[in-house]
Amino acid sequence: MRSVLSVATKPFDGQKPGTSGLRKKVKVFEQPHYLENFVQSVFDVLRAETPEGFADKTLVVGGDGRYHNRQAIGAILKMAAAQGFGRVLVGAKGILSTPAVSCVIRKHKAFGGFVLSASHNPGGPSEDFGIKYNNGSGAPAPEKLTEAVFARTGTIAEYRILDAEAPSIEALGKFQLGATAVEVIDPVADYADLMAQLFDFARIQAWFKAGHRIAFDAMSAVTGPYAVEILENRLGAAKGSVMNEVPLEDFGGHHPDPNLVHAHELVELMNGQNAPDLGAASDGDGDRNMILGRRFFVTPSDSLAVIAEHATVAPGYAQGLKGVARSMPTSGAVDLVAKALNIPCFETPTGWKFFGNLLDDGKASLCGEESFGTGSDHVREKDGLWAVLMWLNILAVRGQSVAQLVEAHWKRFGRTFYTRHDWEAIPTDIADKLMADLRTALPGLPGKTIAGLPVTGADDFAYTDPVDGSVSAKQGVRVLFGDGARMVFRLSGTGTEGATLRVYFERLVADLGKHGADTQVMLSDLIAAAEELAGIMLRTGRDKPTVIT
C-alpha cells in the first residue's frame, strides 16, 4: 500500500470562488501547493458533510486540455486516492468538456467532479487556468459550498496526497492508485450517446446525405473530438466539416470564444461563396455556441427563441417544453414564444447557476443567455454542441435554411433587435461610481425623457428563486422605454482585469419593413440614451466600446 503524505501548507489568497471556481494565471497555479490547497479545501468541506466517507464514491475529473491540465489532473488523482475515493473517472488525455463532465457525473451517479478550464479565456504558459467543483447533479457547486471552500482556503494547514506516481492518462485503461480505482474513459462516448437519445440522428444523417453541409469551428479547444465523432462519424457530415479540431494547450494562440470577432475564420467562410448551410463554433470548454447561416448571424437571444419555437422536432423534447428560462439581459424574444406556447418563462440573473433549481424542479426544460449560452435539462451546464445539434435537427425536419427559419420567426413574433456593448478593463473605481450613480438616479427616471426617449420604468433587477425562495439583489440596472425597448447596465463578474461594464440594448420591432436595418442603427437612439444617462465615454475617456456583439 502506498503511503499518504501530509504536506504542510499555508492559507492562500484564493479569490472568492463563484460557481465558476478558481480562475487565475497559469503562473499562479504553478506556485507550490496552490492547486493542492484548493482541492484539499474542497475535499475538507465535502468530507464534513459526508460522514460515511468517500470509499464507495466516484469522482469525475477532466478539462479542456489547456496548458497545466495534465499536471493538475496528476495531482488531483493522487489527492483523491489519499482521500480514499472508491473510483475516479478521468477523460483520456485529460479531456472532458464542461457539459461532458456534467453528463458523465449524472450517468455514472458520481459524487461530483472537477472541471479544469478557464472557459473562453486564452490558454498557455502565460495565460489562464481554472478549476471548479461540480456536485452530484452535475451542476457547479452551489454558493453555500463555494463559500465554505473559500473559508477553508483561509485556514488550511495541510493537504494529503498519495506518495506515488500518477498513472498515465494518455490511453483508455484501469489502474489502481492506493485503494482507488482510476478509470481512464473515452471522453466522448457517454456524451455522444446522450446526444443520440435527444436528437433525431436518422433525420440529420439523411439531411447530410442530401448534400447539406456544416462548418463547425472547434477553435483548437475541447469540442474538436466531440464534434468529429458526432458530426462526422455518427451523423455523416463530410470529413473536414470540423475545423481546428485538435485541442491545443494554447488553443493555437487564439481566444477560444465563439463570437463574430474571435471566430473570424468561420465568419469569413460563412460570408463567402460556397458557404455551407450551417456554421457553428464553441468555446474553450465546450459550453458556449454561436450559430450562423449563410451570411446570417443568429443572435443567441434569437437562437433561444427559435429553439423554443421548434424544440418538439427533437425526440428528447417531443412532449413539449415544461417552461423556458433566460437571464435578465437576454432579449425578450423567447418570452413571446413561451406566451404563444402557453408555458412559463422565467427571468433569472446572469449566470447559469440560476437555472439549476428550475431544471431540477421541472419548471423549465430550456434555458439560455445572450452570452452564447444555451442548454436544457439534459445536463446542468450550458452546452455548445447540444445547441448545434438542436439546430441541425430543426433544419433537417423543417427543410428551411437558417435565415428562412429566423425570418419566419420574426414574421410571427416580431424581431427583437439586440446588441451588447462591452467596456473592458476600465478602472474599478470609475466603474463602481458609474453604477452607484445610476442606482441613485433610478427612482427619478420614470417619466423623464432621455435622449428624446420617455422612460416608462427603471429598476435594479432582483430575483427571488421560485424553488428555494432565495433572493439575489442588485443584478443589473434596467431602464425601460415601452414598446419592448430597454437598456441594461451591469458589471461583469468574470473579467480578470479592472472592471468590465456591459450595456445591453434591445427593441422589439413588429414592422417587417424594417428588417433589413442595421442593428446598431436600429438601436442608435438607445445607445445615445445610455451615454446621456451614464456618461460612459465622459467617465472613461474612451470613444467606443471594446467589443460590440
Got the DSSP string for 133-177? Answer: EEETTSSBPPHHHHHHHHHHHTT--EEEEESSPPPP-SSSEEEEE
Q: What Cα–Cα distance (Å) separates residue 540 from each residue in 43, 363, 435, 476, 543?
A: 43, 42, 13, 20, 9
C-alpha cell at 369: 443567455
Q: Residue 81 and residue 178: Cα distance in Å, rounded?
A: 6
Phi/psi for 232 (5° steps) reads -85, -50
Q: Which region among 33-41, 55-63, 204-212, 492-500 touches ligand G1P (by CB under 6 A)?
A: 492-500
Helix %, strand %, coil % of the chain (to 5): 35, 25, 40
Using CB under 5 A, which of 64, 277, 285, 302 touches Zn ion?
285
Would you count residue 472 as binding ligand G1P (CB under 6 A)?
no
Query: Which of ligand G1P, Zn ion, none does residue 283 bind to, with CB < 5 to 8 Å depending on kind?
Result: Zn ion
Between residues 23 and 507, which has the closer beta carbon with respect to Zn ion? 23
Between residues 119 and 146, which has the closer beta carbon with respect to Zn ion? 119
- In the complex, the smallest distance separating the C-beta of residue 385 from Zn ion, rounded to whole angstroms, is 12
C-alpha cell at 327: 437571464
Catalytic residue among 20, 119, 365, 376: 119
Query: Which of Zn ion, ligand G1P, none does residue 121 bind to, with CB < 5 to 8 Å depending on kind?
Result: none
Nearest to Zn ion by Cβ — which residue?
Answer: 119
Using CB under 6 A as the binding criterion, the count of chain residues that bind ligand G1P stands at 13
Phi/psi for 163 (5° steps) reads -85, 80
Using CB under 5 A, which of 36, 44, 287, 309 touches Zn ion?
287
- For this structure, is 119 an active site residue? yes
Would you count residue 289 as binding ligand G1P (CB under 6 A)?
no
Q: Residue 371 and residue 388: Cα distance in Å, rounded?
A: 15
Which amino acid is residue 77, in one-letter code?
L
Q: Are 337 and 413 in contact (CB under 8 A)?
A: yes
Between residues 200 and 217, which has the closer beta carbon with respect to Zn ion? 217
Which residues make beta-bridge pairs with 348? 327
- For the window 480-519, what string marks contact with Zn ion as x by the rule CB under 5 A? ----------------------------------------
Using CB under 6 A, which of 371, 376, 416, 475 touches ligand G1P?
371
Would you count residue 494 as binding ligand G1P (CB under 6 A)?
yes
Between residues 43 and 354, which has the closer beta carbon with respect to ligand G1P? 354
Pairing of strands 345-348, 324-327: parallel
Would you count residue 404 as binding ligand G1P (CB under 6 A)?
no
Q: Which region among 277-285, 321-329, 436-444, 451-459 touches Zn ion (by CB under 5 A)?
A: 277-285
- In the complex, the smallest distance separating the C-beta of residue 429 from Zn ion, rounded to whole angstroms, is 29
Query: Which of ligand G1P, Zn ion, none does residue 350 bind to, with CB < 5 to 8 Å depending on kind?
Result: ligand G1P
Q: Which region among 108-116, 258-266, 268-276, 349-357 touches ligand G1P (by CB under 6 A)?
A: 349-357
Between residues 37 and 259, which has the closer beta carbon with respect to ligand G1P? 259
CA 339 to chain centre: 26
Residue 412: Cβ within 10 Å count: 11
Query: Which of ligand G1P, Zn ion, none does residue 369 bind to, with CB < 5 to 8 Å depending on kind?
Result: ligand G1P
Q: Which region among 36-44, 118-126, 203-211, 538-546 touches Zn ion (by CB under 5 A)?
A: 118-126
C-alpha cell at 66: 489547456
Between residues 129 and 199, which has the closer beta carbon with respect to ligand G1P? 129
Would you count residue 351 as binding ligand G1P (CB under 6 A)?
yes
Which amino acid is residue 136, in one-letter code?
G
Got the DSSP string for 519-536? Answer: HHHHTHHHHHHHHHHH-H
Please, what sign has the CA dihedral across residues 447, 452, 457, 462? negative
Residues found in the chain: 549
C-alpha cell at 326: 433566460
Q: Are 81 and 179 in contact (CB under 8 A)?
A: yes
In 3-state terms, what secondary structure has residue 506? strand
Would you count residue 493 as binding ligand G1P (CB under 6 A)?
yes
Using CB under 6 A, which of 38, 207, 208, 352 touches ligand G1P?
352
Interaction residues for ligand G1P, span 5-64 (CB under 6 A)? none
373-385 exposure pattern, b = at least 16 Cβ within 10 A, e = fewer: bbbbbbbbbbbbb
Q: Which region among 55-63, 116-124, 242-250, 535-543 touches Zn ion (by CB under 5 A)?
A: 116-124
C-alpha cell at 292: 450562423
Nearest to ligand G1P by Cβ — which residue?
Answer: 492
Between residues 366 and 402, which has the closer beta carbon with respect to ligand G1P? 366
Would you count residue 283 as binding Zn ion (CB under 5 A)?
yes
Would you count residue 119 as binding Zn ion (CB under 5 A)?
yes
Q: Which region among 151-159, 345-353, 432-440, 458-466 touches ligand G1P (by CB under 6 A)?
A: 345-353
Q: Which region among 258-266, 425-433, 487-495, 511-519 touches ligand G1P (by CB under 6 A)?
A: 487-495
Query: Torsion over CA of 171, 172, 177 and 182, rounded to 10 degrees?
Result: 140
Query: Which of ligand G1P, Zn ion, none does residue 371 bind to, with CB < 5 to 8 Å depending on kind?
Result: ligand G1P
Cell 469525475 sits at which residue? 60
C-alpha cell at 105: 457525473
Query: Which of ligand G1P, Zn ion, none does residue 285 bind to, with CB < 5 to 8 Å depending on kind?
Result: Zn ion
Using CB under 6 A, which of 302, 369, 377, 381 touches ligand G1P?
369
Q: Residue 327 and residue 531: Cα distance in Å, rounded?
A: 24
Interaction residues for ligand G1P, span 315-344 (CB under 6 A)? 327
Contacts of residue 188, defined as CB under 8 A and 6 or more positions apart, other chains included, come to 100, 225, 226, 229, 230
Between residues 207 and 372, which has the closer beta carbon with respect to ligand G1P? 372
In 3-state terms, what secondary structure has residue 70? helix
Which of the residues are catalytic? 119
| Binding residues for Zn ion (CB under 5 A) | 119, 283, 285, 287
Which residues bind to ligand G1P, rule: CB under 6 A?
A: 119, 327, 350-352, 369, 371, 373, 492-495, 502
